[in-house]
Amino acid sequence: MSFLFNDEFKALVSSRCLSFERQEVSVSQPLKRAAVAVTIVAAGDGSNRAAFILTERPGTMRNHAGQYALPGGRCDEGETASQAALREIEEEIGLSIPESEVMGTLDDFVSRSGYLITPIVVWAPRSETLTLNPEEVAYAHRIPFDGFVTEESVSFVSIKESSRPVIRIRLMGNDHLHAPTAAILYQFGELLHGRVSRVSEFEQPVFAWR
């Protein structure tokens, strides 16, 4: 299936998100709330393919240095997940997107580092120019949805520390995405094809347990 950045694809995403019954997490222990954004943009290579923004953190950051991530971060006091995700998009990559372009919410993911992460699906009607915050983003990649979540790109690894599989999605070269980012994007990729997968099924690699 080919996904182009046009009204037809926007309608498909809207329909899929509207019918999706997301799983919220109810936990007894206190968790820090965070939100991330699956930010849908044009690929920017002249193909008009639909893509998402994947950031690469600077190597100088105290936490998660050099890692790939969706735009996002901790929710401020009183913020909804949508408000936090939109604020983080603007702070990290310079896109100001109205709340009317929020298309849906995916399953909550509880990270090993103590965060309850809520993923928001956002349509970015204009994204020709990104203004990166160098303190938080070294690079911003536009990754087309076509061919991203496939049987060849997705793999599952067993670890002795957990009964849940570690999900990986192959990126450029030999790099891989891991949960929570890989779990969120896998769920959204499955949703685009009309299938439901739950992120609670997936584990993070041990190096992310901090």
Domain count, the chain: 1
- Kindly report the CATH number assigned to the domain that includes residue 133: 3.90.79.10
Do 159 and 166 contact (CB within 8 A), yes or no?
Answer: yes
pLDDT value for 59: 60
Burial 128-154 (b: 16+ CB within 10 A, else e): eebebeeebbbebebbbbbebbeeebb
Average the pLDDT over 79-90 and give the result: 98
Q: State the DSSP string of 166-201.
A: EEEEE-STT-EEETTHHHHHHHHHHHHTT----GGG
Domain contains 123: yes
Average the pLDDT over 68-76 and give the result: 96
Domain contains 124: yes
Domain that holds residue 108: 7-148
Helix runs in the chain, H state only = 7-19, 81-93, 181-192
Do 178 and 189 contact (CB within 8 A), yes or no?
Answer: no
For β-strands 109-110 and 115-123, DSSP reports them as antiparallel
Q: Which two structure tokens, joined as six digits, stand for 209?
A: 């347990």
C-alpha distances in angstroms, 28 versus 31, 85, 130, 163? 9, 24, 39, 22
How many Cα atoms sit within 13 Å of 77 on the Cβ side? 0
Do 40 and 122 contact (CB within 8 A), yes or no?
Answer: yes
pLDDT value for 139: 95
Give 131-148 pLDDT, tens digit per residue: 999 999 999 999 999 999
Compute the mean pLDDT over every residue in the chain, rounded to the nearest whole number. Answer: 92
Average the pLDDT over 95-103 and give the result: 97
Domain contains 173: no
Domain contains 93: yes
Average the pLDDT over 151-169 and give the result: 92
pLDDT value for 67: 85
Domain contains 156: no
Q: Which two structure tokens, joined as six digits, stand for 38?
A: 């699956």
pLDDT value for 140: 96
Domain contains 182: no
Domain contains 190: no
pTM for this model (two decimals): 0.93
Domain contains 162: no
Q: Is residue 65 predicted with pLDDT exceeding 60?
A: no
Beta-bridge partners for 73? 35
